[in-house]
Structures are given as C-alpha cells and as structure tokens.
C-alpha cells in the first residue's frame, strides 16, 4: 500500500482515461472535487454513457450495512459487467465493518472499483483496515488498496474549473476573478452561483462582471477599494464622502459591510505568524483576497495589522455584525447606520 499526491485535474484526466486503481482511499477536502473524481472514475472504469443507477452504488459509513456492501462488491452492474462502489466518511466505520472491508480487499472483485472517500489525513491503517485478521490477508488487503491525496486547487486549476463549468458561455479572466472574490475560494459557494449565472445569461451566452454583480445584488462601477482604504487609514471624512457618492447609485450597504468584514478578517489572520510566512497565491488564498483591488490593499492590511490591537479587531467584528443586521432590516436608517459604523471603525486603536 502506497500513498501518492496528485492535482485534481491530473487525477480527473487519468481516471477518465481508465488509468485508475481498482480500489482506492481518496483523500479530498472538498465534496464537489470528490464528486467530480467519482464521475471521472465511472467513465473510465464502467464507460461513458452507462447508467449510474445500475452501475454506481454509494454508501456512508455510519449507515452502511455489511451485507448490502458485500452484495454490491461481489456483483457487477445490472446491465454492465463493471461497477463503481463508493464509501464516504470511513472514520465512522465500526470494527465489524472494517473487518468485512479488509476481508474483501484481500481478494477483491476485479469488476468492481471500490472508492473510499475521506476528508481526513489519517491513512488507511487507521480508517479502513482491521488487524483482527490473518496477517497474510491483511498484507494482501493493503497491497490491493491505493491511497491517493488530492492536493489543494491552485489558482490556475480553480480558474480552469470555473471556465469549464461555463461551457458554452463566454467568460473573461476578469469575470472569473471577480466571481472568486465573492465566493471566498469555496467551490460549495461558487457552484450555485455558476448555476444562477448560467440561467441569468442563458440567451446571450456571455457572463460579465456586471452580470455577476447583478446576480449578487451589488451595484456596479463604485470605488469600493477607495472606501475600504479610507476606513483602514481612519480617514472618516473621506470614507463618509465616498459612501455618500456611491450610495446615490444603488443600495450597496450590505456589500460594503461584506468588504469591511473581509478586510478585518484579513487583519485577524495577519496576527497569526503562520499567515505572515505565506506569500503570493497562498497568502491571498489564506486571507481570501481576490481581484486587483484586494491585491492593492494587501500592503495596507499588513501595515494596519501591525498597529491595531487584537481586541480592537474583535470589536470591529461586533460593530460590523450589528450594522449588517440593521441594513437587512427594512426599518433601518441606512445612511445613519453606515456613518456610525465608519466613525466606530475609524476610532479603533
């Protein structure tokens, strides 16, 4: 049994081409990524166009019944000679379930691809195997299971993944970066936004920054970077002036609060020595800063974090939370609330 690390895109390409182990422990932190890899494994092992209803079975460890699992593993698909069987969350496997899986892996069915999926970095010895078995069988079981770890998506992989999901649509690099900036680098957040945008832009088949803003209820063409910069520099007059100017176009208070929260989250994380050691893409990912505006503000965030106390940052989150609640209330005086928030944040030491 050996463990390897590979990128999502390289694994998906290999799996789709049929280059995959018949039994694997797949370590993937994101459910959407593991779902895509299962789809690729199905195409590569069973065949493109085959029925998943007949040739794909999925279980979660906590509600797994051993008899049902063995029935699936010992027989192929109803209309296909091959089948993919998935087990999720192996950390919940009981000793009897581990024993049954270990027994099976000692002599697995070559017509079944068993994929055990975990988001834990604990290895098969702890998650899958039982040592209450003949040592020779245990060695055979371990030799028949391949451990694969999916590395975190790079900026390029994330961009390619988004572009692929917009197949049939035109979308620029700027629009993809903007979508990332609103989704906190989370596939779980991005995927529903992609579906919403594909519906919104169905007829024109082109996705712009303006479309993304409209789908998120955000006004366009405002100086959000200047506003955040003014607050970070504690320039109350400028912050109020910028807010007054851009609020004439549309209701943007909720979005400005989102930006302020992102800024203070970055300040909070910059207190951690581990974050300050990061550079480039890894630092942007950790701080959830995307797009040219956020990148320009990063040096300012670093400077502010050095001069602002942890308690002040915690107080900022309290102010932002209360303001956000008021903005989402139909009875709130938005301009008064925002002005008070600006004064409060700019007064922090």
pLDDT tens by residue, 120-173: 888 999 999 988 889 999 999 999 999 999 998 888 889 999 999 999 999 999
pLDDT > 60? residue 218: no
* Residue with the larger pLDDT of the pair 109 and 183: 109
Number of Cα atoms under 13 Å in the Cβ half of residue 30? 18
pLDDT value of residue 223: 66
> What is the C-alpha to C-alpha distance for residues 58 and 114, in angstroms, rounded to an integer?
10
Degrees, nearest 5: CA angle 111-116-118? 165
pLDDT in tens, 187-204: 888 898 898 898 888 888
Close Cβ partners of 197 (under 8 Å, ≥ 6 residues apart): 166, 179, 207, 211, 212, 215
* Residue with the larger pLDDT of the pair 197 and 285: 197
pLDDT in tens, 74-128: 875 455 589 999 999 999 999 999 999 999 999 999 999 999 999 988 899 999 9
| 43-47, 221-225, 259-263, 321-325: range with lowest mean pLDDT | 221-225
Q: Which domains, and CATH codes, for the chain?
A: 3-150 (3.40.50.300), 155-215 (1.10.8.60), 224-346 (1.20.272.10)
pLDDT value of residue 164: 93
pLDDT > 70? residue 332: no
pLDDT value of residue 219: 46
On whether the CB atoms of residues 109 and 71 are closer than 8 A, the answer is no
For residue 220, what pLDDT band results from cuts at 50, 70 and 90?
Answer: very low
Q: Tell me what the mean pLDDT of segment 254-269 comes to.
A: 88
Degrees, nearest 5: CA angle 132-136-137? 60
pLDDT in tens, 14-31: 999 999 999 999 999 889
Percent of the chain with pLDDT over 90: 46
Report pTM: 0.63
pLDDT > 60? residue 248: yes
For residue 1, what pLDDT band results from cuts at 50, 70 and 90?
Answer: low
For residue 293, what pLDDT band results from cuts at 50, 70 and 90?
Answer: low
- Count how many residues are written for the chain: 349
pLDDT value of residue 181: 80
* Token duo for residue 201: 């832009």
> Using H for helix, E for strand and C for coil, what is the string for the chain?
CCEEEECHHHHHHHHHCCCCCCEEEEECCCHHHHHHHHHHHHHHHCCCCCCHHHHEEEEEHHHCCHHHHHHHHHCCCCCCCCEEEEEECHHHCCHHHHHHHHHHHHCCCCCEEEEEEECCCCCHHHHCCCCCCCHHHHHHHHHCCEEEEECCCCHHHHHHHHHHHCCCCEECHHHHHHHHHCCCCCHHHHHHHHHHHHHHCCCCCEECHHHHHHHCCCCCCCCHHHHHHHHHCCCHHHHHHHHHHHHCCCCCHHHHHHHHHHHHHHHHHHCCHHHHCCCHHHHHHHHCCCHHHHHHHHHHHHHHHHHCCHHHHHHHHHHHHHHHHHHCCCCCCHHHHHHHHHHHHHCCC
């Amino acid at each position: 049994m050996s463990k390897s690390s590979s990128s999502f895109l390289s694994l998906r390409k290999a799996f789709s081409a049929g280059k995959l182990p018949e039994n694997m422990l797949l370590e993937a932190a994101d459910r959407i990524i593991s779902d895509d890899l299962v789809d690729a494994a199905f195409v590569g092992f069973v065949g493109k166009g085959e029925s998943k209803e007949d040739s794909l079975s999925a279980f979660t460890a906590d509600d797994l019944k051993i008899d049902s699992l063995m029935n699936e593993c010992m027989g192929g698909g109803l209309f296909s000679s091959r089948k993919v069987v998935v087990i999720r969350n192996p950390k919940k496997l009981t000793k009897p379930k581990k024993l049954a899986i270990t027994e099976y892996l000692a002599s697995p069915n070559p017509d079944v691809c068993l994929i055990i999926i975990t988001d834990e970095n604990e290895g098969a010895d702890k998650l899958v195997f039982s040592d209450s078995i003949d040592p020779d069988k245990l060695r055979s079981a371990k030799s028949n299971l391949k451990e694969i770890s999916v590395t975190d998506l790079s900026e390029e992989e994330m961009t390619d993944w988004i572009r692929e999901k917009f197949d049939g649509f035109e979308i620029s690099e700027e629009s993809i970066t903007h979508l990332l900036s609103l989704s906190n680098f989370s596939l779980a957040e991005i995927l529903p936004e992609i579906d919403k945008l594909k519906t919104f832009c169905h007829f024109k088949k082109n996705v712009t920054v303006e479309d993304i803003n409209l789908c998120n209820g955000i006004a366009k063409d405002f100086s959000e970077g200047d506003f955040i910069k003014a607050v970070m520099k504690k320039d109350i007059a400028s912050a109020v002036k910028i807010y007054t100017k851009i609020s004439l176009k549309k209701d943007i208070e909720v979005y400005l609060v989102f930006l302020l929260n992102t800024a203070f989250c970055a300040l909070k994380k910059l207190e951690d020595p581990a974050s300050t050691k990061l550079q480039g893409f890894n630092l942007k990912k950790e701080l959830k800063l995307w797009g040219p505006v956020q990148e320009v503000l990063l040096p300012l965030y670093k400077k502010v974090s050095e001069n602002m106390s942890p308690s002040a940052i915690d107080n900022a989150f309290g102010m932002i939370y209360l303001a956000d609640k008021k903005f989402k209330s139909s009875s709130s005086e938005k301009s008064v609330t925002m002005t008070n928030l600006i004064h409060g944040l700019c007064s922090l030491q």
